[in-house]
């Protein structure tokens, strides 16, 4: 396992999360101690142990491929922070 250091600025960029310099500093210290604690998993031998993604014995659950009722367009748009003409308004993406 890697050393208990997080490049908070880099990870925050991956997470698309703006942090103030104070937040970066505080998170770095706290996460250092949490990672130190998490390091204890290294004590265990997990050779030949299958990972558990979830605990339910279900696979490939599908429903009938048929059109079913869904939210009306205006209901789905109801909570949009900015909208016009039934569309979400976003900053320019392509030049």
Partner 1 sequence: MLNQLTISELTAKLDRREVSAREATQACLDQIARVDGQVKAFLSYDAADALAQADAADQQIKADVQKPLLGVPIAIKDVLAVKNQPLKCASKILGDYVSPYDATAIEKLKAAGAIVFGRLNMDEFAMGSSTENSAFGATRNPWDTDRAPGGSSGGSAAAVVAQECIASLGTDTGGSIRQPAALCGCVGLKPTYGRISRYGLVAFASSLDQIGPFTKDVRDAATMLGVMSGQDLRDSTSIPAPVPDYAAALTGEIKGLKIGLPKEYMVGGLDPEVKASVDAAVKKYQDLGAEIVEISLPHTDYAVATYYIIATAEASANLARFDGIRYGARVEGNDPIELYSKTRGAGFGPEVKRRIILGTYVLSSGYYDAFYLRAQKVRTLIRNDFLKAFEQVDAIVTPTTPTAAFKLGEKSGDPLQMYLSDIFTISCNLAGICGLSLPCGFTQTPKLPIGLQLLGKPFGEETLLKLAHAYEQSTDWHHQFPTL
74/88 Cα distance (integer angstroms): 11
| Locus of tokens 């142990």 | 49
52 or 84: CB nearest partner 1: 52
Minimum CB distance to partner 1, residue 19 (Å): 6
Contacts with partner 1 by CB under 8 A lie at 1-2, 6, 8, 11-20, 23, 27, 30-31, 33-35, 37-38, 40-42, 44, 46, 49-56, 58, 61, 63, 71, 75-76, 78-82, 88, 90-93
């Amino acid at each position: 396992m890697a050393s208990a250091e997080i490049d908070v600025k880099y990870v925050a960029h991956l997470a698309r999360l703006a942090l103030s310099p104070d937040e970066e500093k505080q998170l770095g210290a706290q996460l250092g101690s949490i990672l130190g604690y998490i390091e204890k998993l290294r004590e265990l031998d997990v050779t030949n142990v299958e990972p558990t993604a979830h605990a339910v014995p279900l696979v490939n659950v599908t429903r009938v491929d048929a059109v079913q009722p869904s939210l009306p367009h205006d209901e789905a748009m109801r909570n949009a922070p900015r909208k016009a003409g039934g569309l979400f308004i976003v900053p320019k993406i392509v030049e």
